Amino acid sequence: MGKWHGRRTAGAAVAAGLVLLLAGCGGGGGGGDKAGGDPAAPAATTPAAGSADAGGGQSASDTPSPVLAQIKGGDDVLVTINSAVRDKDGYVTVQGTVTNNGTAPFNAVDWRGQETALVKSGASVAGAVLVDEAGKKRYYVLRDTDGRCLCTTGLIDVKPQATVPIFAQFPAPPAATTEVEFDLPTMPPAKITLSEG
């Protein structure tokens, strides 16, 4: 019994030594018992990194589609149109960004248009128009029951080097019309292609 007990003790000591040796080789500076948990920590971090990548994807989704048009205006302002989607309800929603590349804050008061009814919309893109040249028709930004545009408002004091998202909703041209001109007061016109939502 003494020899058998000695062998069991020696075997247990060797097994414990191997566990410590393997743990020492596998761990990256952590304790031997935590070596098995360390690979799980990077695995937990990997989805977080994936989430960050997804966040990057969401940043990319701030630009919903490839650039349809870029319009450079005075005061070093750049308007980028990223999408113009016709939905099943008969509307077109144009989305994009405004970037102030100048050295002074930018106010979009002139973009609201000349109509007195649009004064309520303030500094906005309320004066935007879609022009269907083939159909010889102009489509103005839609308004709510209070006369405010269904568009981005509050475009006041856009800081230098800042980029802000914009949108405007219009009645949809006929289904056969796939290209329109996007007009914004004080800016050059730009051709954009409509897509189906």
Q: Write down how long the chain is.
A: 197
User: Are residues 99 and 78 in contact, defined by beta-carbon separation less than 8 angstroms?
Assistant: yes
CA nearest 154: which of 103, 108, 187?
Answer: 108
pLDDT for 119? 80
pLDDT for 87? 94
Chain-centroid distance of CA 43 in Å reads: 27
Clarify whether residues 73 and 170 are in a common domain. yes
Segments of the chain with pLDDT less than 70: 1-65
pLDDT for 130? 98
Clarify whether residues 14 and 87 are in a common domain. no
Clarify whether residues 57 and 77 are in a common domain. no
Mean residue pLDDT across the chain: 76
Clarify whether residues 85 and 124 are in a common domain. yes
pLDDT for 143? 92
Q: Rounded distance, CA 105 to CA 56, Å?
A: 28
CATH of residue 127's domain is 2.60.40
Q: How many domains does the chain have?
A: 2
pLDDT for 65? 54
Range of the domain at 146: 69-196
Clarify whether residues 179 and 108 are in a common domain. yes
pLDDT for 117? 77
**DSSP letters of the chain?**
-HHHHHHHHHHHHHHHHHHHHHHHHHSSSS-GGGTTTTTHHHHHHHHHHHHHHHHHHHHHHTS-SS--EEEEEGGGEEEEEEEEEE-TTSEEEEEEEEEE-SSS-B--GGGG-S-GGGGGG-SBSTT-EEEETTTTEEEEPPB-TTS-BSB-B----B-TT-EEEEEEEEEPPPTT--EEEEE-TTS--EEEE-EE-
CA nearest 122: which of 89, 88, 102, 146?
Answer: 146
Give per-residue pLDDT as tens, 98-131: 999 999 999 999 998 888 777 888 899 999 999 9
The residue from 10, 41, 61 where one domain ends is 61
User: Are residues 154 and 165 in contact, defined by beta-carbon separation less than 8 angstroms?
Assistant: no
